[in-house]
Amino acid sequence: MPAVFAAAFIALYIAHSVGDHWVQSSCQAATKGQPGWTGRLACGRHVLGLTLTKAAVLVPIVLVLHLPVTALGLLLGLGLDAASHYWADRRTTLAKLAARCGKAEFYSLGTPAHPAHPTTAQGTYAPTLGTGAYALDQSWHILWLGITALIIAAI
């Protein structure tokens, strides 16, 4: 079981990085947090592509390494992971959780909303790829990758 957990986690981590950054379209990334059906559908399409990417990476590893994994474990694990990813990627949900945990200021780090946001030499906002929201988003997803790997290994 420990080897299954380790292999599943590594496969999920690799697939998560690819699915969250390479497979996700720019439109999905820009609109998945919007209110209403526009945001819900964009987020759903993103999570579908991400989950298919995870399955495409995980299944060959399971087959090649002859890992004792059940279809039920895969379905439950990937289903829970997809649900947790959708929840966080709607953005307002994760922002509210960050606020409740006392992380609202960190969540805004790297954005104009943060009191110490990055600036250019002229004093205007300097966009950055490294934001607190992104760090909290990715750490949330990695937590659920671990839970998913545990489910896959245990069921």
Of residues 77, 82, 91, the one with CA closest to residue 7 = 77
In order, the DSSP letters of 57-82 are HHHHHHHHTT----HHHHHHHHHHHH
- Give 10-residue mean pLDDT values along the chain (155 residues): 97 98 95 96 98 98 97 97 97 95 87 69 70 91 98 97
> For position 106, what pLDDT does the model report?
85
> For position 127, what pLDDT does the model report?
65
Whole-number Å distance between alpha carbons of 43 and 88: 10
> For position 50, what pLDDT does the model report?
98
> For position 87, what pLDDT does the model report?
97
> For position 143, what pLDDT does the model report?
98
Sequence ranges of the domains in the chain: 2-154
pTM of the predicted protein model: 0.88
> For position 126, what pLDDT does the model report?
65
